[in-house]
């Protein structure tokens, strides 16, 4: 039999690698990631949420992410005129608290929060109690198990909505997104969007209000990044209960999707 030196033997073994070995290697890599300690940054923009801020932070804090996940709360008060800031400073000073001197919009609050992120992953959490923070754990699981760069929580299976205009508006924005960008997502305007931190930091944003959702979605899709989705719970509130988004924001979302289809 021909003698083989170490370099030839390594080359031979590489060529003879069987699919089962490849599967084992892939599995071990995923297992290694799942057992590493990772850090999740949770950006929580809020504006005049004195009725909900304590409760939502308690709910987020109650999520059991397991021993391998560290969390950081980045709470951005967007110039609240009620007791939101007082409650944050009194009850939640152990978290990262950031304050705008005046109301600038949800998009600006998120952009402020992004500057202070130190985690491996980032998720957006509204302060209005419409979303169940327990779903964040499931979204993170999908991120890790699929080595995903972006995962959205989809409310499509949830029939609850705060009026026909909001429901059909969201459906239209999702359809328009898929039409313009060749995607197949089911819920473009969902709050629950999770990213690998480098994706969010490396994506320049111009949003000020609620157009964060269409802008980040458009720019992620233009980069060729696949958006994973997972079903989530949704408990919408009405305008009388403090819902802030309106038809003007819907028009702005449409314009944002169209605009970023043709410009960088």
Burial label, 81 (beta-carbon count in 10 A; 0-12, 13-18, 19+): exposed
Domain ranges of the chain: 37-262
pLDDT of residue 34: 57
Q: Are 179 and 253 in contact (CB under 8 A)?
A: no
The least confident of 8-12, 165-169, 171-175 is 8-12
How do residues 105-122 score in pLDDT, each as one tens digit?
999 999 999 999 999 999
* Among candidate residues 53, 33, 37, the one with its CA nearest the CA of residue 45: 53
d(CA 206, CA 107): 8
Kindly indicate the confidence band of residue 236, based on its pLDDT and cuts at 50, 70 and 90.
confident
pLDDT of residue 25: 59
Tell me the CATH class for 37-262: alpha beta
3-state percent breakdown (helix, strand, coil) of the chain, nearest 5? 45, 15, 40
Helix residue spans in the chain (DSSP H): 6-15, 19-35, 53-61, 84-91, 106-114, 134-145, 164-181, 197-201, 212-222, 247-262
How do residues 21-74 score in pLDDT, each as one tens digit?
666 655 565 555 556 899 999 999 999 999 999 999 999 999 999 999 999 999
Q: Are 152 and 240 in contact (CB under 8 A)?
A: no
Does the pLDDT at position 247 exceed 60? yes
Paired tokens of 185: 């997502």
Does the pLDDT at position 202 exceed 90? yes
Q: Are 78 and 105 in contact (CB under 8 A)?
A: yes
Q: Are 197 and 122 in contact (CB under 8 A)?
A: yes
């Amino acid at each position: 039999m021909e003698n083989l030196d170490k370099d030839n033997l390594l080359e031979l073994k590489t060529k003879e690698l069987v699919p089962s070995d490849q599967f084992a290697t892939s599995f071990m890599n995923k297992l290694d990631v799942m057992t590493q300690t990772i850090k999740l940054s949770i950006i929580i923009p809020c504006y005049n949420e004195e009725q909900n801020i304590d409760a939502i932070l308690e709910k987020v804090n109650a999520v059991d992410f397991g021993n391998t996940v560290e969390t950081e709360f980045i709470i951005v008060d967007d110039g609240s005129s009620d007791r939101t800031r007082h409650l944050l400073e009194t009850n939640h000073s152990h978290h990262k608290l950031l304050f705008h001197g005046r109301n600038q919009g949800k998009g600006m609050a998120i952009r402020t929060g992004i500057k202070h992120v130190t985690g491996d992953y980032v998720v957006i959490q509204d302060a209005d109690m419409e979303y169940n923070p327990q779903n964040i754990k499931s979204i993170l699981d999908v991120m890790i198990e699929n080595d995903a760069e972006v995962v959205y929580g989809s409310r499509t299976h949830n029939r609850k909505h705060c009026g026909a205009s909001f429901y059909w508006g969201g459906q239209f924005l999702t359809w328009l997104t898929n039409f313009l960008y060749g995607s197949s997502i089911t819920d473009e305007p969902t709050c629950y969007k999770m990213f690998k931190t480098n994706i969010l930091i490396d994506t320049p944003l111009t949003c000020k209000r609620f157009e964060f959702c269409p802008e980040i979605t458009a720019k992620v899709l233009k980069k060729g990044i696949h958006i994973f989705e997972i079903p989530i719970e949704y408990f919408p509130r009405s305008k009388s209960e403090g819902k802030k988004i309106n038809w003007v924001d819907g028009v702005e979302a449409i314009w944002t999707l169209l605009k970023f289809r043709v410009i960088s």
